[in-house]
Structure 1
Amino acid sequence: MSAAYTTRVKAVGGRSGRVESEDGILALDLAMPKELGGKGGATNPEQLFAAGYAACFENAVIHATRKSETKIRDEDIVVVGEVGLSANSSGGFVLSVTLEIEIAGVDQGTANDIVAAAHQICPYSNAVKGNIDVKLKVSTK
């Protein structure tokens, strides 16, 4: 299967380096978070993952309602992505994710159903399924 979209990003210097996309639109310095003993002051891979997952999931919510009577628009939804980094039992590290999804204009049951459908559609959700603990917190406004 061919990809609908492909991007390339180069990382140099690890957690204290820099990332840059081949088109130059993304160009960021990286720093180890102070909480992990670093100097902070720049973004880190966990923030980038949280941002990407939140934005992608928001679009998956909209996509999940395209063929239904209840349509969710960009201005109806806010997704906050939280990524945790923890040590595992084998000396490595694991990620955890919490997505806080707030949808306007629907009742709680409808919001829950929409988010469940979006979780099946979202490429980030599909990529981490069975590998990363993902919690979905759904609310309405």
Structure 2
Amino acid sequence: MVVTYTAVVSVDGEGRNGGRVHSSDGLLETSLAVPKELGGAGTATNPEQLLAAGWAACFLGALRRAATLRKIKLTSTTITAEITLTHGDDGEFNLSATLNPTLGGVDQNTATELAHAAHQICPYSKATRDNIPVTINATAA
């Protein structure tokens, strides 16, 4: 296997509770904060938002690739990713995800087919497969 790219990101301080995120190339520099919904200040991004952003961007690329492989022309693509942090009776935290792609220029059946194909292509989807519950709600625009 050939390495295509490696992202290098460091987090210091208190992690999700006041830490700082730094990428090795300097393009990503941000603070972290616990969301208000979890009793925090909610004044900065959090790991769930960062995961949602990365997965949504990757999934959008996978959707476009799936369409290209099938010679389908999309007129627009958007996606909203929801990452949910859950807390079980056992005291453990877990994640679940909902991906909501909206595809222009196709009918509903094609939108659904492309979304499921993208879920097979997307590296984030592969990495989380059988590890967290994922729901995909494709919509034709």
Tell me if both proteins adopt one fold, taking TM over 0.5 as the criterion: yes
Kept in 1, the 8 Å contact 2:73–2:105? The answer is no
- 2:103 corresponds to: 103
Give the Å deviation of 1:89. Answer: 4.1
Q: Does 1:27 align with 2:29?
A: yes
Give the Å deviation of 1:40. Answer: 1.0
Give the Å deviation of 1:68. Answer: 2.0
- 1:45 corresponds to: 47
Q: How does 1:55-66 map to 2 (within 5 A)?
A: 55-66=57-68
- 1:126 corresponds to: 126
Give the Å deviation of 1:39. Answer: 0.8
Cα-to-partner distance string for 1:8-34 (whole Å, 9 max, x where unaligned): 000012112110100000000111111
Return the letter of the residue paired with 2:113. Answer: D
Over the residues paired in the alignment, what is the CA RMSD in angstroms? Answer: 1.1
Mind listing any 5+ residue stretches in structure 1 that lack a counterpart? Answer: none
**TM-score, normalised via structure 2 length:** 0.94
In structure 2, C-alpha distance between the alignment counterparts of 1:2 and 1:111, rounded to whole Å? 32
In structure 1, C-alpha distance between the alignment counterparts of 2:72 and 2:2, rounded to whole Å? 32
- Specify the SS of the correspondent of 1:66: helix
Give the Å deviation of 1:90. Answer: 3.1
Return the letter of the residue paired with 2:35. Answer: P
- Specify the SS of the correspondent of 2:78: strand
Give the Å deviation of 1:4. Answer: 1.1
Return the letter of the residue paired with 2:24. Answer: E
Moved over 6 A (4+): none
Give the Å deviation of 1:88. Answer: 2.6
**Identity across matched positions, percent:** 48
Mind listing any 5+ residue stretches in structure 2 that lack a counterpart? Answer: none
Q: How does 1:73-92 map to 2 (within 5 A)?
A: 76-92=76-92
Give the Å deviation of 1:6. Answer: 0.5
Residues paired across the two proteins, number? 139
In structure 1, C-alpha distance between the alignment counterparts of 2:70 and 2:129, rounded to whole Å? 26
In structure 2, C-alpha distance between the alignment counterparts of 1:61 and 1:91, rounded to whole Å? 36
